[in-house]
Copies of this chain bind each other. A is one copy, B any other.
Amino acid sequence: MRILITGGAGFIGSHLCDRLITDGHSVIVLDNLITGSTDNVSHLTDTKMFRFINQNVADYIELPKPVDAVMHFASPASPSQTAPNGYLQLPIQTLKAGALGTLNALGVAKRYGARFILASTSEVYGDPLVHPQNENYWGNVDPVGPRSVYDEAKRFAESLTMAYNRTHGVRTRIVRIFNTYGPRMALNDGRVVPNFICQALKGKPLTVYGDGSQTRSFCYVDDLVDGIILLMSSELTEPTNIGNPHEVTILEFANKINSLTKNAAGTILEDKRTTGDPQQRKPDISRAEKLLSWKPHITLEDGLTRTIAYFKNKLSDSM
């Protein structure tokens, strides 16, 4: 198959490229590199199976050849309040990637009769009032808050995707991606995984906001990619959660990273920042387990070991 991946130079998109090319497919990446990086796909540029188009997904997409599938993964995605590539620093680009980008990507799928998958997010659940979240929960999102530029863009993108399915018969899929980590997260991404690992590798204490009792569930990127490929091959039109339901507290998580990096500097507790970050979010993955026979396999220890190796390399390169 020939597959278009918008945002294919990003963290998740580039892992999808690797997997699809390994599986014998040919890949066209469309990315404007405002949050992605050519570093993530530079190892692929020599293969005939890979083609790169430097373009904003919010502009009309013209392809050299028809495609069999469209995977729409282009969007800023970090909620960091300070990182330059976070959606709070790119509000209008984020809204456009969700609305115009999804419209353009769906247009390609309609034109060529291709399958379509939307990269949606657990952020459509907002600050959830039910735990864990299953796909029938309608969410709790502030439509006019600063974070709405991401949350509402993705909710709009889901609605538009379903409308193309119902109106034009496009074979659409929607994956709601929960917290994911792994190699190729940006160093300056501002999220907890790169923050902690970089601090640990520099021998500094890890900064924990609040008392560290807030929980997170982290999915290793290879597990996520497995789930996305299974969903893409299925006939499941309804949104599907893909994430790791294994919950850890932020403090446990920090201690695990210190132990794996042999960092003796420990942790430092700081006043909680008001990021609007939910206290707890955890996927109910029973739909994916039942209908895709998918569940995550990689342990936190294994996933972190591989991620730490990547960041170690990256940091030594940049020194």
Interface residues of A (CB under 8 A from B): 91-92, 95-96, 98-100, 103, 124, 126, 138-144, 146, 148-149, 152-153, 155-156, 158-160, 162-164, 166-167, 174, 238-239
Residues of B within 8 A of A141 (CB): 138-139, 155
Extra inter-chain contacts (5) besides given A92-B160, A138-B142, A153-B159, CB under 8 Å:
A91-B163, A144-B158, A149-B159, A153-B156, A155-B156
- A147: nearest chain-B partner, CB-CB: B159
Smallest CB-CB A-B distances: 10 pairs: A99-B99, A156-B156, A148-B159, A152-B159, A143-B155, A91-B163, A144-B162, A143-B158, A152-B156, A138-B142
Asked if A138 and B126 sit within 8 Å, CB to CB, the answer is yes
Asked if A152 and B149 sit within 8 Å, CB to CB, the answer is no
Docked complex Cα distance between A156 and B162 (Å): 16
What are 11 contact pairs spanning A and B, CB under 8 A? A95-B156, A95-B159, A99-B100, A100-B103, A124-B143, A143-B158, A143-B159, A144-B159, A148-B159, A148-B162, A156-B156
Smallest distance from the beta carbon of A147 to chain B beta carbons, Å? 9
Residues of B within 8 A of A103 (CB): 96, 99-100
Docked complex Cα distance between A103 and B100 (Å): 10
Docked complex Cα distance between A167 and B93 (Å): 11
- A139: nearest chain-B partner, CB-CB: B143
Smallest distance from the beta carbon of A221 to chain B beta carbons, Å? 25
Asked if B99 and A163 sit within 8 Å, CB to CB, the answer is no
Residues of B within 8 A of A238 (CB): 144
Docked complex Cα distance between A238 and B148 (Å): 14
- Decide: A166 near B143, CB < 8 A? Known: A100-B99, A126-B138, A153-B156: no
Smallest distance from the beta carbon of A103 to chain B beta carbons, Å? 8
